[in-house]
Amino acid sequence: MNEIIESVKNLSIGFNSQKGKQISILRNVSTNIKKGETVGIVGESGSGKSTLALAMMGYIKQGLFPLKGKCLFKSEDLLKMSSRQLEKIRGRKIAMIPQNAGQALTPNLKIGYQIDEALKLHTDLNKKERDKKISELLNKVRLPSPETMAFRYPHELSGGQQQRVAVAMALAGKPDLLLLDEPTTGLDVTTQAHVLELLRFIAKDTGTSMIYVSHDLGAIAQVSDRIVVMYAGEIVLEGPARKILKEPIHPYTYGLLKSIPKLSLAGLPASMPGSQPQPGSINEGCSFYDRCNLATDHCKKNSPDLEYIKELDTNVRCFNHKELINQNNNLQTSITKKSNNSEAIEVLKLKDVSISYAKQKFFDQLLNKISDQNPTVKDINIDIKKGETIALVGESGSGKSTILKSIAGLLKTKDGQIKFEKDRILSSDLKKRNPNDLRAIQLIFQNPDESLNPNHTVEQILSQPLKLYFNLSGDELKKNIIDLLKKVRLGEFYMSRYPRQLSGGEKQRVAVARAFAAKPDIILCDEVTSALDVSVQAAVLNLLQQLKEDLGTTYVFVSHDLAVVRAISDRVAVLYQGRLCEIGPSQNVYKFPSHPYTEVLLGAVLEPDPDIKPKLVAEDIVEEKPPEKGCSFQGRCPRKIGDICNSEVPPWQIGENGNAIRCHINIDELASLQQ
Amino acid sequence: MLLLILKRIGLGLITLFIVSLITFVGVEVLPGDACTTYLEREAYGAALDACIKRLGLDIPAYERYLDWASNVVRGDFGYSLSGEMPINEVLGPRVKNSLVLASVSILIGIPLAIVLGIITALWRDKLPDIMISTITIFSMTIPEFISATLLILIVAIWLGWLPGIVIIPSDATFYELLSNIILPVVAISMIMTAHMARMVRSSVIQVMASDYVQMAILKGVPYWKMVFRHVLPNALLPAINVVALTIAWLLGGVVVTEVVFNYPGLGRLVIESISNRDLPVVQALAIILASIYVGINLIADLMTLMLNPRLKSLQIRK
C-alpha cells in the first residue's frame, strides 16, 4: 500500500511570454501517488491542475515546456523520455480518461476498433481473445448489450455511454495508474453519480491508483483518499480527504468550501472576493494575499512554504493556518436571504403552454399552425408573482431553456398563452411585441464570452439598452452607465475595457448590468452561473439576490444545479421531458414527499462531504423523446406502479407543505415510501 | 439512403431545368433574335427570312423551348450558326480536350496537394512548412496569365523543350495530346494545388489539435499510425467538396489558360461562341456546364455522406 508509483518533484512548467519573459503556470509542485490510492486534484480554472495531470503522463501541451523538476514514474523521469518510450507507458502503465469523451473518441472509428487498438498496442492477445476482451470490458463498465455496442460509432451513444467507453478503453491496457481529467463534468447529475460510482467500483476491484482532477469538490469528495488543492499553479493544501473537507486549514480551501451551495442549507453561500491572479502577475508574497482575510503585512512580502502539520497529516502553505484550526463549525453556515418580499401580484402567467420543435409541414405553414401530437414542452401552467425567484430545474432535454426562450419571445409557442401583468397576452412572435414589453423582459445568458460582443467596450455594451429604451445620450447616458456598474460592484474605469480584458465573473457582472439597464420587471436567467468558478458563482448569486432585494425584480432562474437553485430560489418547478413534475416553495420541494423524479435528482447530488453518499435510485437511461401517453417519467421511474403510468397522465396532488406533485401514487403513500 | 439519393438527383434535375429556362429566356429577351445578331448588317429580306425559317423562329417561344428542351434531353443540341454544323460535332472534340486536360491536372494536382498539405501541417512552422508554404502562397498570388506567359517564355522560347502553344488535330491520339498539354497542366496545377494544399493544411492542423488526437497520443498510439487512422480520415473529409468544385472549374472555367496556350477546350469555346454571337452554342454550353457542376457536386455530397458515419446514421434514423 505504501509503494510510491509516481512522484512529482519540484515541477515547474511555463511558457515564454511575448515580451520574452518566462512565465510559469506550475510552480514547484511536488507530490507522490501511492499504489491503490485515489488522489483528487482540485482547483478553479487556471490553477494548473490539468497541466499537472498531463505532465504526469509525460505530456506537455503545445507552447508549454518544463522549466525544472521531474515526473518520476517508477523512478524513471517521464519528461526525459523519447516518444518511443512514452508510447510504451501511455495506455499500458498510465491511462487517461478524458473530460469530454464525446470529443475524445475519434468520430470515424467504431467503439470496438478504438478499444481493440488499445488492446493490440498493450497486450499480446490474438484476434479472438481480443474480441472476447472487448465485450468483457464493455460489460465491466455496465454498457447495455456489449456485443452490439462494439459496432457502433461514438456519436450514436449518449454522453454517459461515451464516458463509459472511455473508461473501458483506459482499462484495456491494465494500467497501474488512471488519470481522470474532469471525467464527469458536462454530464447530467444522475449520469454523473452513476459514472462516479462505476469509477469507485473499478478502483476497488482492480487496485488501480487514480488521479482525479476536478473543479467540483462534490465529485472529489466521493472518490478521493487524499486531496491536493491547487491555487495559481501551486499546491496550497494537501492531506487526507476527510481532513481537507471537514477541517480545511488553508484560507482558500476554507473560502472555497464555504462558497459551495449545499442542499442541506437554505440561503446563499458566502462568497470570496476577487479572482485568481493571472500567471506571471505574482512577484512576491503569497499568491492568495489579495483575497485572503487572514493576510498580514508579512504575507505581502514573503511567500509561505508548504508546512507539514503532524496532527492533521496535512501540508499547508499559509503563515496563519493556526487561526483556521477548529473553525469547522462555521463551514455549515450561509447568508440568509431577506424574507420573500413577493407581493401577491401576478406578473407573468404561463397558461397551458406547449412548444414544439417539429418542422412545420407544408400545409401547416400555409395555415400558420403546428400539428405535433407530442410536442417537446407540453401543458406548462405556472403563475409567477412579482418579486419572487422561480427556478426551473431538470436535466438536459427537460425543456427548461425552451420555456425561457418562449417567454422571451425567441421561440413560438404551439398552444397556450403567456400573459403579462394580469391579463395582457404576450404575442409569441417577437416582432409583434411592443417595445415596452420587450424592455420589461430581459435575458441573461449562460456564457458571457458568447453573449457580449467582443468588439464593444463595456461602455458600448451598456449604452445600447439605455439608448434603445430610454433615448439617453451625453452626460446622462454616462451617469447611468456608471450607476449600473456601481450596482454590479464594478468601478468606473471598467467602461473603456473590452470583454477579453475581464475575468469570467466580471464579464457575467457586465451581462447582469446590461439586463438591469432596461429597468426590467422580469429577468430570465439561463444557467447564469454554470460557466463560472465556484467562488465566483457565489459572488454572482449574492449580487443577483442583492439587486432583487433593492429593485424588486422577478427572476425566472433556469439551472441544472439543484444546490444553486436551493440557494437562490423562492419557488421551484421540476421538469422532466418538457412536462412539469412538481412545483412548490423551495424549502418544501427539497423535503419529502417529492415526485419520484425529484427524489432521483436530489439523491444524485454530490455534496462536498465524504459522509454524504449519493443515492442512486433510477437508471441513467437517456430518453430522446417524451412518451406519447401517460406520465412523462414512466421510462425511468423507480416507483412505477403499473399500466396506469403508461396510459394516463397523472393528476396534480397538493401536499400539506404546499408543493404540488403530479403522480399516480397517493401523496401520503409517497411520503411513507420515501421515509 | 436510396430515397435520399433519388431526392438529390431530383433536385439536381430541377436545378438544370431552371438553368435551361433562364438561358432560354435570357436569349429571348435580348434585343433582336439569333438571326439578326448573327447576320448583323445582312439581316433583311430573303436572308433573314431564310434564317428565321431554318431556325424556326417564327413559331411561339414556349413551343420552341419545348422543342429545344426535348431535343436536348435526347442529346441533340441543334445547329450552330457560325459553323452551320450540328452542335454535337462542335462540342465533341472540345469536351474530349477539356476532359484530357482536367483529368491529367487532377491526377497530378490533387495527390500532390494532399501530400503537400499533410507535410506542411505535420511539420508546422518548421523548415518544410516554411518552404512549401512560401512557394504555395507565391503560386497562388501570381495570376495565371502571368505564370502561363512566363512558362511559355522560359520553357518554350528560351529552352525550346516544349511547344509554346497547343496545335492538335482533332483526331490526335491521347499520347500526342499529352506532350502538348504539359505546360497548360503545369500552369493550372500551380494555382489549383496551392489552394487545395492550404486547405488540407488547415484542416489537418485543426484535427491535430482535437481532443481525440490528444487522446490517441495518450493511449500510446504510435505517431504515424495515429496520423493515418485518427487524423487523415477526419481531416480529408471536408476536402471532398473542394475537390469537386475544382474539377468542375477545370472542365469549364480555365478560360485564361486555354486562351494563353490556344488550347481548344470548353472554356475557350464559351468565349468564342459569345464573341461570334452563336446563341445556340451558348445555350448548349450553359446546359452542359451546369450539368457538370450539378453532377459533380451530387457525387461529392453522396461520397461525403457515405464516408462520414455521423451523417450516414443520421440519414438512416430519419
Mutate which: B214, B218, B223, vs A, most A CBs within 10 A: B218
Say whether pLDDT at B314 is over 70: no
Q: Which of A91, A109, A156 sits opposite B313 (nearest CB)?
A: A156
pLDDT of A247 reads 86
| Residue range of the domain that includes A306 | 247-274+287-336
Contact across the interface for B217 and A89, Cβ inside 8 Å: no
Q: Would A262 be classed as within a structural domain?
A: yes
Residue A376 shares a structural domain with residue A514: yes
A575 occurs within a structural domain: no
CB contact under 8 A, A96 and B218: yes
> Using alpha carbons only, what angle is made at residue B264 by residues B260 and B268, rounded to the nearest 5 degrees?
65
- Residue B293, C-beta contacts closer than 8 angstroms, at least 6 positions apart: B248
What is the 3-state composition of chain A as percent helix, strand, coil, each rounded to the nearest 5?
Answer: 40, 20, 40
B233 touching A (Cβ < 8 Å): yes
Beta carbons of A487 and A513 less than 8 angstroms apart: yes
Residue A42: its pLDDT value, please? Answer: 93
If asked whether residues A560 and A663 sit together in one domain, one would say no
Using CB atoms within 10 Å of the CB of residue B241, give its burial: 0 to 12 exposed, 13 to 18 middle, 19+ buried. Answer: middle
Tell me the nearest-neighbour CA distance from A506 into chain B, angstroms.
Answer: 29
Q: How confident is the model at residue A424 (pLDDT cuts 50, 70, 90)?
A: confident
The more confidently predicted of residues A27 and B168 is A27
pLDDT at B316: 44
Q: What is the 3-state secondary structure (H, E, C) of A102-134?
A: HHHCCCCCCHHHHHHHHHHHHCCCCHHHHHHHH
Most confident range (mean pLDDT) of A150-164, A188-202, B117-131 is: B117-131
Q: What is the pLDDT of residues A98-110, one digit of tens each?
A: 888 888 999 989 9
Weakest-pLDDT range from A188-202, A353-367, A531-545: A353-367
Confidence at B318, pLDDT banded by 50, 70, 90: very low
Of A517, A534, A569, the residue at which a domain comes to its end is A569
Q: Which of A334, A207, A194 is nearest to A262 (CA)?
A: A334
Q: Which CATH architecture has domain B93-317?
A: Orthogonal Bundle (1.10)
Q: How confident is the model at residue A390 (pLDDT cuts 50, 70, 90)?
A: very high
Q: Band the pLDDT of B313: cuts 50, 70, 90.
A: low
B219 and A96 within 8 Å at the Cβ level: the answer is: yes
Q: What pLDDT was estimated at residue B317?
A: 41
Please check whether residues A532 and A507 belong to one and the same domain.
Answer: yes
- Residue A668 placed within a domain: yes
A531 vs A329, more confident: A531
Give the tens place of pLDDT for each residue, B258-289.
888 888 888 888 888 888 777 788 888 888 88
> Coil, helix or strand for B257?
helix
Nearest to A59 among B212, B217, B234 (CB): B217
Instruction: Check A90 against B212: CB less than 8 A apart.
Output: no
Across all residues in chain B, what is the average pLDDT?
A: 83
* Cα–Cα distance measured from residue A181 to residue A97, given in angstroms and rounded to the nearest whole number: 6
pLDDT tier for residue B116 given thresholds of 50, 70 and 90: very high
Nearest by CB to A104, which of B215, B220, B234? B215
Judging contacts by C-beta atoms under 8 Å, the chain A residues touching residue B221 are 87, 91, 117, 121
Whole-number Å distance between alpha carbons of A263 and A607: 8
- The residue that leads in pLDDT, B2 or A309, is A309
Cβ of residue A373 closer than 8 Å to a chain B Cβ:
no
pLDDT digits (tens, 9 = 90+) for A241-259: 998 998 888 999 988 888 8
**For chain A, what is the mean pLDDT?**
87
The CA distance from A207 to A36, in Å, is 5
Chain B contact for A107, CB < 8 A?
yes
Asked whether residue B311 carries a pLDDT value surpassing 80, the answer given is no
Q: ipTM score here?
A: 0.80
In this structure, are A492 and A617 located in the same domain? no
- Residue A104 touches chain B, beta carbons under 8 Å: yes
Q: CA-CA distance, B226 to B221, in Å (whole number)?
A: 6
Nearest-by-Cβ selection for B222 from A87, A100, A107: A87
Per CB-CB distance under 8 Å, the chain B contacts of A59 are 214, 217-218
Considering the domain architecture, whether residues A596 and A539 belong to the same structural domain is answered as no
Per-residue pLDDT, A268? 87
Q: Which residues of B touch A54 (CB under 8 A)?
A: 218
Instruction: State whether residue B71 is helix, strand or coil.
Output: helix
The reply to whether residue B309 touches residue A153, judged by beta carbons under 8 angstroms, is: yes
Mean pLDDT on A395-415: 88
In a domain, A579, yes or no: no
Residue B73 vs residues A457, B79, B164, B289: alpha-carbon distances, Å: 61, 15, 39, 15
User: Which residues of A, range 532-591, sit inside 8 Å of B by Cβ?
Assistant: none
By the CB < 8 Å criterion, does A148 face chain B? Answer: no
Residues A146-155: tens digit of each pLDDT: 878 889 999 8
Both A555 and A645 in one domain: the answer is: no
In this complex, do A106 and B230 lie within 8 Å of one another by their Cβ atoms?
A: yes
Domain-ending residue, one of A539, A569, A599: A569
A105 touches chain B (CB under 8 A): yes
- Hey, are the CB atoms on B221 and A89 less than 8 Å from each other? no
Domain borders along chain B are 17-73, 93-317
A190 contacts A604 by C-beta, under 8 angstroms: yes
* Cα B1 to Cα B232: distance, rounded to the nearest angstrom: 26
The counts of H helices and E strands in chain A are 25, 24
Chain A interface mutation, best of B213, B215, B312, highest count of A Cβ atoms under 10 Å: B215
Is B242 a residue whose pLDDT tops 60? yes
- A121 contacts B218? CB cut-off 8 A: no
Q: Please report, in angstroms and rounded to a whole number, the separation of the first and last CA atoms in chain B.
A: 10
Mark yes or no for CB contact A105/B310 under 8 Å: no
- Closest residue in chain A to residue B236, using alpha carbons only: A108
pLDDT at B315: 47
Nearest residue of chain A to residue B227 (CA atoms): A106
Same domain, A596 and A463: no
Sign of CA dihedral A426, A428, A433, A438: positive
A151 vs B contacts (CB less than 8 Å): none
Cβ within 8 Å, pair B233-A108: yes
User: Higher-confidence residue: A523 or B143?
Assistant: A523
Q: In this structure, is residue A580 part of a structural domain? A: no
Asked if B235 reaches chain A (Cβ–Cβ under 8 Å), the answer is: no
Q: Is A60 a domain residue?
A: no
- Contact (CB<8Å) A117/B221: yes
pLDDT in tens, A602-659: 888 888 888 888 888 777 777 777 888 889 898 888 888 888 898 888 999 988 778 8
Interfacial B residues in 138-157 facing A (CB < 8 Å): none
Residue A357 has pLDDT above 50, yes or no: yes
Cis peptide upstream of residue B238 (ω within 30 degrees of 0): no
Partner-chain contact B309 A83, CB within 8 Å: no
CA distance A584 to B59: 79
Confidence of residue A339 (pLDDT cuts 50, 70, 90): low
CB-CB: which of B220, B230, B233 is closest to A121? B220
Q: Does B304 touch chain A (CB under 8 A)?
A: no
Identify whether residues A596 and A663 lie together within a single domain: yes
Nearest chain A residue to B207 by CA distance is A106
Q: What is the pLDDT of residue B223?
A: 92
**A82–B contact, CB cutoff 8 A:** no
Pairwise CB contact (< 8 Å): A83 & B313: no
Contact (CB, 8 A) for A361 and A616: no
Cα separation, B280 vs B24, whole angstroms: 10
In a shared domain, residues A563 and A622? no
Residues on chain B touching A82 (C-beta within 8 angstroms): none
Q: Which residues of A328-363 are buried (b: 16+ CB within 10 A; e: fewer)?
A: eeebeebbebeeeebeeeebbbbeebbbbeeebeee
Kindly report, residue by residue over A44-92, the tens digit of the pLDDT.
888 889 899 999 999 988 888 899 999 999 888 999 999 899 999 999 9
Residues B40, B46, B50, CA angle at the centre, nearest 5°? 85
Q: Is A190 in contact with A560 (CB distance < 8 Å)?
A: no
**Chain A residues closer than 8 Å to B208 by CB:** none
Query: Looking at the predicted structure, is the pLDDT value of residue A232 above 60?
Result: yes
